[in-house]
Amino acid sequence: MLRLIVAGMLCVILLVPVSGSLASVPVLTPTVIYVPEEYHTGGAYTAIQAGPGGRVYLGTTIYDGYAHLLAYSLTTGRFESLADMSAATGERNPGPYAQAKIHTKPVIAPDGRVYFGTKSGKPAANPRWQENYPGGHLLVYDPRTNTTTDLGIIKPKVSIIAVGVDTSRGLVYALTDPESHLVTYDPRSRTFSDRGQFGSPGEAPTRYLIVLANGDAFHPFPGATIARYVAATGAIERSPLQVLGSGTYEPPYAMVAAADGRRFLGVGRRSGQVYLFEPRERAVGVRILGAATSEVSGPSGNHYTMALGPDGIVYYTGVLGQDLFINRVPPDMGPPQIVGRVPPLGPPPPGYSRTVSRQLIIQGSTVAPDGTVIVMTAYPLRLLIFRGLR
């Protein structure tokens, strides 16, 4: 057991191995911050990323209107709108074809610039709503000048659901929805290149785009394969998976690159099984690390987010009933552990007017440079801030 004093409050943290019961899991009490209602219509998606200086970037949704890129300060507790997508894109037609969402998890490049993309507020797979949608914009926010630049529409009539950066080549990656194509953007020539099918045709792509240090990118495929974009050749391959270890393999939704930049992790959305992916020349090895919450509540659940901490710890969330579990994978990639659980949260503050779901909806998570874990919920849109979990 580890005893920490956090913000004048005694916080008891217990790392519980795979075996255990609900009674043995410590209760966590996060700081709960509601996102100002003028910036959203109740929802947000995977669009949250902590940056330097205590700043947290997040994208919102305004149905039939224009999304916002926000910054939240962990130091001051204040929100700031960095850009609304009408002004940023030059589009001024509220309604079903507006740039209503920022689905993409923002990516912070080595120079500090923040890349993100826009998405339609209507179902991307429905041709009715695609027909008159202009297309998703790739944008970049520069904190040095406090300006947002529109880099253009990557493809007409399709949305952007995930982005990434190849730091070694200076390229930006974008994953389209609904067709699941990988598109690269070269800032030097200001050109987009469609690299081809990256997600499974006919299935919704994930909001997680893995880019390793060598520029190779990965996206899940059904069955025992995974899509790999080979940065050196510009080609997309289907790599077979070689699964090692006991347990089931479920193609993960949430994924994150490991601290070494050579491997990545994923978690099965329902099973909670955590996988370590190790790319090889002709295949991708998959080591099953285990499922932290399986002995607590059985194999079912909703494991929807993963985030890498500055010390190599990978945090991931699990929703089991109305309880939120914060889990972790240690830096040595040992068995996953339960950090603690958050019981059902109270109602929104008086006067909150947006939709409130009966179910707990976890949408995104991130870890700040000081180790603070931030989890974002939807309906209501709020941030759950966990300090001192390391």
- Ramachandran angles phi, psi of 129, nearest 5°: -90, -20
pLDDT at 300: 66
Classify residue 390: in a domain, yes or no: no
pLDDT at 293: 78
Classify residue 136: in a domain, yes or no: yes
pLDDT at 21: 67
Q: State the first-to-last Cα distance of the chain, in angstroms, to the nearest integer.
A: 12
Whole-model pTM: value is 0.93
Element (H, E) at 284: strand 284-290
52/193 same-domain check? yes
The answer for residues whose C-beta is within 8 angstroms of residue 138's C-beta and 6 or more apart is 115, 116, 117, 150, 151, 152, 154, 160, 163, 172, 174, 185, 192
| 3 state SS of 162 | strand
Question: How distant, in Å, are the alpha carbons of 176, 292, 306, 308 from that of 336?
Answer: 32, 5, 12, 14
215/194 same-domain check? no
Where among 207, 222, 237 does a domain terminate? 207
55/199 same-domain check? yes
65/143 same-domain check? yes
Mean pLDDT of the chain: 92
100/201 same-domain check? yes
Identify whether 380 is preceded by a cis peptide bond (ω within 30 of 0): yes
pLDDT at 298: 56
From the CB of residue 15, how many other CB atoms can be counted at a distance below 10 Å? 16
Where among 207, 237, 257 does a domain terminate? 207
279/350 same-domain check? yes
CATH code, domain carrying 195: 2.130.10.10
CB-CB contact of 261 with 305 (8 Å) = no
293/169 same-domain check? no
Cα separation, 192 vs 259, in Å, equals 29
Residue 147 one-letter amino acid: T
**Domain count of the chain?**
2
131/144 same-domain check? yes
Cα separation, 387 vs 372, in Å, equals 5
Each residue's pLDDT tens digit, 252-292: 999 999 999 999 999 999 999 999 999 999 999 999 999 99
Q: Which domain covers residue 255, as residue numbers?
A: 18-29+210-358
196/51 same-domain check? yes
- Token code pair at residue 201: 């045709």
Each residue's pLDDT tens digit, 35-51: 999 999 999 889 999 99
216/203 same-domain check? no
Helix, strand, coil percent values for the chain (each to nearest 5) = 5, 45, 50
Locus of tokens 């059902």:
344
201/68 same-domain check? yes
199/223 same-domain check? no
Q: Which residue ranges of the chain lie beneath pLDDT 70?
A: 1-21, 295-300, 390
Each residue's pLDDT tens digit, 49-69: 999 999 999 999 999 999 999
